[in-house]
Amino acid sequence: MTVWDRPEPPTRPAPLDRERIVAAAIALADEGGLEAVSLRKVAARLDVGPMRLYGYISTKQELFDLMVDEVYAEILPQEQPGDWREALRALAHRTRHAALRHEWLADLLGGRPALGPNALAVGEVTLAALNSLADIDTAMRAVETVSAYFTGAIRREIASLRAERATGLSKHNWQRASGPRLTRMLATGRFPALTKAVYDGTDVDAEASFATGLEWVLDAVAAKLTRPPV
């Protein structure tokens, strides 16, 4: 019996697992933003019927959760950081860089509790860095405060970045020059402080402004950590 006589084996279904699914979804999101992620497109990229995915996730939201946790793996520092301040600073900057690599992360950050394994691991090393310096409650408050800051700051930065991209102008230049409505509103004189800020404010690098605000918040945390040393 030659090869020609034997029928082809039936096409086996493409092997699949969550890792592959999440990777495909992240690739789509990196290319076209969150809105480019549809279960149908993810499935297509894996040569699979859309319904197949429901064996691995039961809702699109769960896919987003998995994507976020995958990014937390990038955020998790490889080596144990030095002191608490370095740990929190690193967490903030690593999260920011992850969001710059995966802008869609900004849309998801803080949107729901992150309870995946990698997110937990990040939480663990972060809390651990504060272990010996404060009681648990203070430590949690510190982490939450810093996290709130950088979550909000990252979201704003990505939002500005997208707006710039959409208009093709830097935010500052846009406000000053062609944003016609804004220019008109500022010209009304009803917003003197804003106007001064727009025209006289220094254009500062996004990373620098992020870092500055972060150090302020870290200073605040430091004050609370050392005040009652516990």
Positions in the binding site for a second copy (CB under 8 A): 107, 109-113, 115, 117, 120-121, 123-124, 127-128, 131, 136-137, 139-141, 144-145, 147-153, 155-156, 159-160, 162-163, 171, 182, 185, 190-194, 196-197, 200-202, 204, 209, 212-213, 216-217, 219-221, 223-224
Q: At what angle do helices 192-200 and 180-187 cross, to 10 degrees?
A: 120
Span of 59-67, 82-90, 91-99, 214-222 interacting with DNA by CB under 7 A: 59-67
In one-letter notation, the amino acid at residue 179 is G
Q: Cβ(135)–Cβ(87) under 8 Å?
A: no
Residue 50 binds DNA, judged by CB under 7 A: yes
Per-residue binding string, DNA, 6-35, x by CB under 7 A, is: ----x--xx-x-------------------
Cα separation of 66 and 94, whole Å?
A: 19
Cα separation of 219 and 230, whole Å?
A: 18
Least Å from the CB of residue 47 to DNA: 8
Among 18, 45, 52, 171, binds DNA (CB under 7 A): 52
Among 49, 82, 117, 152, binds DNA (CB under 7 A): 49
Rounded to 5 degrees, φ, ψ at 179 are -55, 90
Question: Which residue in 48, 51, 22 sits closest to 37, CA to CA?
Answer: 22
Q: Cβ(119)–Cβ(112) under 8 Å?
A: no
| Neighbouring residues of 3: CB distance < 8 A, sequence distance ≥ 6 | none
Cα separation of 85 and 160, whole Å?
A: 28
Least Å from the CB of residue 43 to DNA: 8
* Binding site partner of 165, from a second copy, DNA, none, Cβ cut-off 5-8 A by kind: none
Residue 37 binds DNA, judged by CB under 7 A: yes
CA angle 25/111/117 to nearest 5° reads: 65
Least Å from the CB of residue 112 to DNA: 14
Nearer to DNA, 13 or 152 (CB): 13
Residue 55 binds DNA, judged by CB under 7 A: yes
Cα separation of 40 and 115, whole Å?
A: 26
Cα separation of 36 and 59, whole Å?
A: 16
Among 20, 41, 141, 176, binds DNA (CB under 7 A): 41
Nearer to a second copy, 25 or 150 (CB): 150
Nearer to DNA, 44 or 140 (CB): 44
Residues that bind DNA (CB under 7 A): 10, 13-14, 16, 37-41, 48-52, 54-55, 59-61
